[in-house]
Structure 1
Amino acid sequence: MTDFPSAANRRETKPPQARGLYVEPGAIVASATAAAQQGSPHVTEPVAYDAVLLSGFGGPEGQDDVLPFLRNVTRGRGIPDERLEDVAQHYRAFGGVSPINAQNRELREALRVGLAAAGIDLPVYWGNRNWAPYLDDVLAEAAQDGVRRVIAIPTSAYSSYSSCRQYREDWADALEAAGLQEVLQIDKVRQFFSHPGFVEPFVEGVRDGIAAAQRAGHRRDAIEVLFTTHSIPSADAALSGGGAFGDVAGGAYEAQHLAVAEHIIAAAAPGTSWQLVYQSRSGSPATPWLEPDINDAIVSLTDRSAVLVVPIGFVSDHMEVLWDLDREARETAEAAGMWFARAATPGVQPAFVDALVDLVRERLLGRPVGARANVTGIGPWVDVCRPGCCAKAGSAPRPAIAGIVT
């Protein structure tokens, strides 16, 4: 199966944006299986999928890849290379290699093993949104292998433009670029923030982190748990989940993270002080993004001696974990004289891999909503995204699959 082509054969640009969608007559969901075409929020009809598509963000594999990769990430935003180079320095400090690709290779293999152990005979393809192996190349390979029905897993657990809708847009781009709009049908698993297999590694991380802080001499009431996730523009956050949480400033994105954090604290460290914070913001300082920033939050903790950072917004230890947390947030804490620890992300922990297998199985079986694994008061989330769900604020909607066409 496709992995990274040689540098000489690797293209530097992602597929062009799709101009349209293929929708079966009478259907309201583009390029979907028959079970999902009518747009039911939860698909409870069994579907005989031919393959699993693990979809990653992508990342550079060497110094020469860094700027082309960042141009793909920021396509259409008109950001000059001089500004991109500021972000490029994070990658260059690690030899120009993002850890995310190796992590997804490992996750793909773990998922293959997990599916086989569960008696599910499905190949696992891996494609990236912003770097090789690109989604259109991978889908073309799958089609050549005889695949027609795909269940896709984005490596992001929550609802927002960047963590859900952009994946759906890029699948649409890839189908059109590969000429497969009328050949392949792609459904997606639900956003899995509330699946116990995603949450349990963080529960264990909080238990271990609190115990380590106490062994280091810090009382429980002197420890602050910071649940962190990627900040997004406030206007985008308000549109996440299709406005389902209009009473929460950060929309479904914030509500989902709060629900996960509340469950983790209740399970691992009841009574411990905690808050939800954000990291890795970019763009114009004049544009409001979700706050507080993790570094500002750490500086404000004048009555705490220890901080435990829990990256609930991330599935693996990629660049924004290694740089923004392990380097910058740690330096902020140490400068403030605070003990610092960071809980691990799910990565390829068995509970998380089993969760992904379970998400595939529930669609293969058409599992009823009430029988689906869920540990928060929000969820299980929908299988088919609703009209306008996670739209990009201020932008015209782009073609996107796995949701009701609007």
Structure 2
Amino acid sequence: MSGYDAVILVSFGGPEGSGDVLPFLRNVTRGRGIPEERLEEVAEHYHHFGGISPINQWCREVIDALRAEFRASGIDLPIYWGNRNWPPMLVDAVTQMTADGVKRALAICTSAYGSYSSCRQYVEDINAARAAVGESAPAIDKIRHFFDHPGFIGGFAKQLRASLDQIDNQTNTRVVFTAHSIPTIMEDCSGPEGARYSDQVAEAAALVAEHAGWAGPHDVVWQSRSGPPSMPWLEPDVNDHLKVLAAEGVDTVVVSPVGFLSDHIEVLWDLDNEAAETAAGLGLRYLRAGTPEIDADLVGMFRDLVAERVSSAPLKRLGKLPAWDPTIEGCCPARRPPAPEKSRGR
């Protein structure tokens, strides 16, 4: 089994009650000099949903489903869980793994793409947790980018198809895929032979459209920008793009958040509130396709990604972009932008 004796799910983390919100946001932005009033502004997004981010419960359900899938597939590895910004914290999970005698673990990170914030920062946080535990901490390797895995694409395609099926006349319909905007200096994913973050998102979007049976036009846009206006970020923003589509005569927009594996606050607030309000003001019919369900596609994808590493199972990929080899150092260089204006949460 390639020497692995455990799996750990590594996620961003999120508050699970109103009293958690500001402490969580302070954790996310620690050391960045974010004014308290900015954090209070973002906190209102969470309070709109009772102070609860869905991401922790999503992680619990994924782990339960994956444990059952491991049993059925003959993968005899325990699954741990550690978050980067809210309990259960990554350092506590690594501490428990060390106490349990784990020597080498495989990290399933809940971001499908490359870029500093969606890949390298996870690796840095894993390494920081290991350093805090000490020399006895297990080695922890991260799974590869999985934006073009059949399970990832299939999960989004089913949700997009379900939204499209609600539209009787699709003549003036546009499908719009969104992902988290990042500073352009953080685009690199895997060195000169690799693809940029925006290339990965564009390929995933095209694959989802194809597998959903959508032959009409689609666009890739960005959301949840949080940096200073002086710094170049990926554009256009989804709200600005909705204005362009309305001016072009589009009457119905289906938005698929292909950059997000689950419905967390950035999806619920930025798309279901802000973008929906923009569309309503423009007279556009607006449908937001769901993120993947925790089903055979999603759970099978995580099983496959583990099997690639523990038993040399073949890679399952639908895309044509260069694939990052997780056994080689150097993906997603740490080109950090200046501190953002405010935090966007999960």
TM-score tier by shorter-chain length is over 0.9
Q: Does 1:374 align with 2:329?
A: no
Q: Does 1:384 align with 2:327?
A: yes
Say which SS state the counterpart of residue 301 (structure 1) adopts. helix
CA-CA distance at 1:336 after TM superposition: 1.3
Match among 250, 258, 268 for residue 322 of structure 1: 268
State how far apart, in whole Å, the 2-side matches of 1:54 and 1:154 are: 6
Aligned-residue CA RMSD (Å):
1.7
Distance 1:254 1:385, change over 3 A: farther
Once the two structures are superposed, the pairs formed by residues 342-353 of structure 1 within 5 Å of their partners are: 342-353=288-299
Name the counterpart of 1:230.
180
Contact 2:182 2:225 in 1 (8 A): yes
Name the counterpart of 1:308.
254
Name the counterpart of 1:150.
105
Contact 1:240 1:391 in 2 (8 A): no
Deviations 1:290-309 (A, max 9, x none): 11101111111121111001
Say which SS state the counterpart of residue 108 (structure 1) adopts. helix
Name the counterpart of 2:202.
258
CA-CA distance at 1:143 after TM superposition: 1.3
Name the counterpart of 1:185.
139
Structure 1 unaligned spans of 5+: 1-45, 246-250, 396-406
Say which SS state the counterpart of residue 276 (structure 1) adopts. strand
CA-CA distance at 1:381 after TM superposition: 3.1
CA-CA distance at 1:269 after TM superposition: 3.2
CA-CA distance at 1:63 after TM superposition: 1.9
Match among 146, 164, 189 for residue 240 of structure 1: 189
Name the counterpart of 1:96.
51
| Bigger mean CA offset, 376-385 vs 251-260 | 376-385
Name the counterpart of 1:141.
96
Distance 1:116 1:380, change over 3 A: farther
Contact 2:154 2:211 in 1 (8 A): no
CA-CA distance at 1:319 after TM superposition: 0.7
State how far apart, in whole Å, the 1-side matches of 2:227 and 2:191 are: 23
Letter in 2 for 1:294: V
Contact 2:160 2:290 in 1 (8 A): no
TM-score (structure 1 length as normaliser): 0.79
Say which SS state the counterpart of residue 240 (structure 2) adopts. helix
State how far apart, in whole Å, the 2-side matches of 1:230 and 1:49 are: 32
State how far apart, in whole Å, the 1-side matches of 2:213 and 2:284 are: 20
State how far apart, in whole Å, the 2-side matches of 1:310 and 1:222 are: 17
Q: Does 1:130 align with 2:85?
A: yes
State how far apart, in whole Å, the 2-side matches of 1:296 and 1:114 are: 42
Name the counterpart of 1:206.
160
Contact 1:243 1:252 in 2 (8 A): no
Contact 1:244 1:252 in 2 (8 A): no
| Bigger mean CA offset, 46-55 vs 354-363 | 46-55
CA-CA distance at 1:271 after TM superposition: 2.8
Letter in 1 for 2:201: H
Deviations 1:203-229 (A, max 9, x none): 112222222112xxx33x311101100
Distance 1:93 1:338, change over 3 A: same
Letter in 2 for 1:169: E
Say which SS state the counterpart of residue 226 (structure 1) adopts. strand
Contact 1:241 1:253 in 2 (8 A): no
Contact 1:315 1:347 in 2 (8 A): no
Match among 225, 232, 236 for residue 288 of structure 1: 232
Name the counterpart of 2:35.
80
Name the counterpart of 1:23.
none
Deviations 1:161-220 (A, max 9, x none): 1110110000011011112x4541111111111110111011112222222112xxx33x
Contact 1:194 1:379 in 2 (8 A): no
Letter in 1 for 2:50: G
Contact 1:59 1:97 in 2 (8 A): yes
State how far apart, in whole Å, the 2-side matches of 1:350 and 1:388 are: 29
State how far apart, in whole Å, the 2-side matches of 1:379 and 1:242 are: 10
Percent of pairs with identical residues: 48
Contact 2:280 2:286 in 1 (8 A): yes
Once the two structures are superposed, the pairs formed by residues 66-77 of structure 1 within 5 Å of their partners are: 66-77=21-32
CA-CA distance at 1:130 after TM superposition: 0.5
CA-CA distance at 1:270 after TM superposition: 4.3
Number of residue-to-residue matches in the alignment: 336
TM-score (structure 2 length as normaliser): 0.92
Contact 2:183 2:337 in 1 (8 A): no
**Which structure has the bigger radius of gyration?**
1
Moved over 4 A (4+): none
Distance 1:268 1:213, change over 3 A: same
Match among 98, 107, 110 for residue 62 of structure 2: 107
Say which SS state the counterpart of residue 222 (structure 2) adopts. strand
State how far apart, in whole Å, the 2-side matches of 1:94 and 1:190 are: 33
Q: Does 1:276 align with 2:220?
A: yes
CA-CA distance at 1:380 after TM superposition: 3.9
